[in-house]
Structure 1
Amino acid sequence: MTALGRFSQMLRRSSLTQVQHQFSAASGRGEQSVKSWRNLTFLVALPSVGVCMLNIFLKEYSHEQPEFIPYSHLRIRNKRFPWGDGNKTLFHNPRVNALPDGYESHK
């Protein structure tokens, strides 16, 4: 049992010294790597997220309602929905979701 304990301690020491050696050898490159990743974050990633947010914001408010075409295979109601008036889906949005007879009037 003691031989197993000594062997495991020897393995831990050898693996720790290898890890310490790897970090000490790469410490000069590590500082440069941190600076480059920080610059990429602030100069590329954050402005890209801002541009995407602006794009979504502008598209949301310039949304035009598509023309209603009463296709026979869309918006089929064989049975009433168990909520509301029975004609609207659960997540109905009057601006973009048409009913079987057309869009709701804008109020």
Structure 2
Amino acid sequence: MALVSTATMLRRAFASTAAGGHGGHEGGARTWKILSYVVALPGVGVCMANAWIKLQRQSHDPPGFQPYQHLRIRTKPFPWGDGNHTFFHNSHTNPLPTGYEGPHH
């Protein structure tokens, strides 16, 4: 018997499942279980590694402030705090209309 590639085995499994092959629903469950282990789990691992590598390479400094007139418009003060900070304000990533807070920006 000749060696059969994984892709050929998966095509045969899909074809027999789609054609209503023997075994009822067990063939489809087995196919999806194999796909989960062979395709999905390694795919998740590759995505996690990619995210980790990009996280290590990125700079943790915020981008330079650009005082665009159409962004950060305040027509009336917010009803909390000093009225200038949004509810989920983060001084490291969210600038105020006049720029970032703190001496290092």
Unaligned runs of 5+ in 2: 1-19
Code of the residue aligned with 2:72 in structure 1: it is R
**Inter-partner Cα distance in structure 1 for 2:36 and 2:92:** 38
Q: TM-score, normalised by structure 2?
A: 0.58
**Inter-partner Cα distance in structure 2 for 1:54 and 1:85:** 42
Seq. identity, %: 52
Q: TM-score, normalised by structure 1?
A: 0.57
Larger Rg: 1
Unaligned runs of 5+ in 1: 1-24
Q: 1:50 to 1:66 in 2, by over 3 A?
A: same
Shift of 1:93: 2.2
Q: Give the aligned partner of residue 38 of structure 2.
A: 43
Residues 71-100 of structure 1, C-alpha deviations (whole Å, 9 max, x = no match): 122112221111122111112122221111
Q: 1:54 to 1:27 in 2, by over 3 A?
A: same
Aligned residue pairs, count:
82
- Corresponding residue to 1:78 among 70, 75, 79: 75
Q: Give the aligned partner of residue 15 of structure 1.
A: none
**Inter-partner Cα distance in structure 1 for 2:91 and 2:50:** 23
Q: Where do 1:1-107 residues align within 5 Å?
A: 26-28=21-23, 30-60=25-55, 62-63=58-59, 64-105=61-102
**Inter-partner Cα distance in structure 1 for 2:53 and 2:80:** 33
**Inter-partner Cα distance in structure 2 for 1:45 and 1:53:** 12
Task: Judging by fraction of residues, say which structure has more helix.
Answer: 1
